[in-house]
Amino acid sequence: MRFAIVDDIPAMQQELKEIIYDYCRSTDTIADICCFDSGEAFIAAFVPYSYDIVFMDIYMIGMNGTDTASLMRRSDNRVILIFLTSSPDHMKDAFNVHASHYIEKPISRERMYCCLDDAFRLIPHNEAYINFTSDNVTVRLDYKDIIFIKADRHYTIICDCCNNIYQPYIYFTALTKPLMSDERFLQLSRGILCNMDYITGFSKDCCNLSNNTFLPITIRNAKKLDSPAGKRP
């Protein structure tokens, strides 16, 4: 489980880390925790879908927590966000960026454990996903969030539902092998795989996707959509 702590007070970072590690040990969960001392540092290093849970302080020097969270949400609508603050004044702003919890300082271990219980229940443990490394960061991307995957010589281009583009150094066939057996995915042509949940229509030899992307499709593969096996429920 990957966590990020964004807080400009080192003592608070350490306290949170100890609580998270203790909680994860009690649930047989491996915790990987990254700490950032400013919103700017977090955004500079942020890769969408690389964290499961983010703890964000609201009052920080420089960019505050709500502005940082707004930037994060532009490219990651899945990560669970938990705000930390010394005042309830920004509660409305917190929920505008879809925070799941709002914890007032000083933080109690009991309150943190309750928030982590709720957060763990929200994480889709049974959803199929792929792991890959992009820009030296490991990314976990659920199948349902993938729009299309394209071969690009030794690299592979991946587009997700927030229109984030990743280009890991991995062959297309190696990355897409587990997806080929998933009924959501269709190989449009050589080196192009798309999630049929995002198909909006067809024009000539192209497949139209919900993010206004047009990808070439062969006649043979287009016919698969008309077959009983290719029809989605």
pLDDT along the chain (233 residues), means of 10: 96 97 95 97 93 95 94 92 82 76 91 94 82 87 95 95 94 95 92 95 88 89 59 46
pLDDT in the model for residue 229: 46
Q: How far is 3 from 177, CA to CA, in rounded Å?
A: 29
Q: How far apart are CA 160 and CA 48, in angstroms?
A: 10
What CATH number did the domain enclosing 187 receive? 2.40.50.1020
Indicate the number of domains in the chain. 2
**DSSP-based three-state secondary structure for 103:** strand
My answer on whether 28 and 112 are in the same domain is: yes
Cβ-based neighbours of 61, under 8 Å, separated by 6 or more:
8, 38
Q: Specify the pairing of strand 2-6 against strand 32-36.
A: parallel
The enclosing domain of 118 has a CATH number of 3.40.50.2300
116/156 same-domain check:
no
Whole-number pLDDT of residue 231: 46
User: In the beta sheet, which residues pair with residue 201?
Assistant: 208
Tokens of 59: 């009052």
| Edge-to-edge strand list for the sheet holding 214-216 | 199-203, 206-209, 214-216
CA angle 136, 3, 127 (to 5 degrees): 85
Q: What is the pLDDT of residue 228?
A: 45
- Assigned token pair, 132: 């890959």
The reported pLDDT for the residue numbered 224 is: 65
Q: What angle do the packed helices 10-26 and 109-122 form, to 10 degrees? A: 60
Do residues 8 and 106 share a domain? Answer: yes
Same domain, 96 and 193: no
Token match 């949170």: residue?
16
Residue 138 domain-assigned (yes or no): no
- Which pLDDT does position 137 carry in this prediction? 83
Chain center to CA of 195: 17
Co-location of 6 and 98 in the same domain: yes
Q: Based on the domain organization, do 10 and 114 belong to the same domain?
A: yes
In angstroms, the Cα distances linking 100 to 53, 112, 232 are 10, 13, 33
Give, as one character, the DSSP assignment of residue 135: T
Dist. CA 41–CA 119, nearest whole Å: 24
Quick check: 55 and 85 in contact, CB under 8 A?
A: no
| Beta carbons of 76 and 139 less than 8 angstroms apart | no
Check residue 26 and give its pLDDT. 96
Is 150 among the domain residues? yes
Which residues share a beta bridge with 137? 134
Q: Find the DSSP H helices in 46-191.
A: 65-73, 91-96, 109-122, 172-176
Residues 117 and 159 in one domain: no
What is the pLDDT at residue 199? Answer: 93
Is there a single domain that holds both residue 177 and residue 114? Answer: no
Domain that holds residue 175: 146-224
Q: For residue 91, what pLDDT is reported?
A: 66
d(CA 42, CA 158): 23
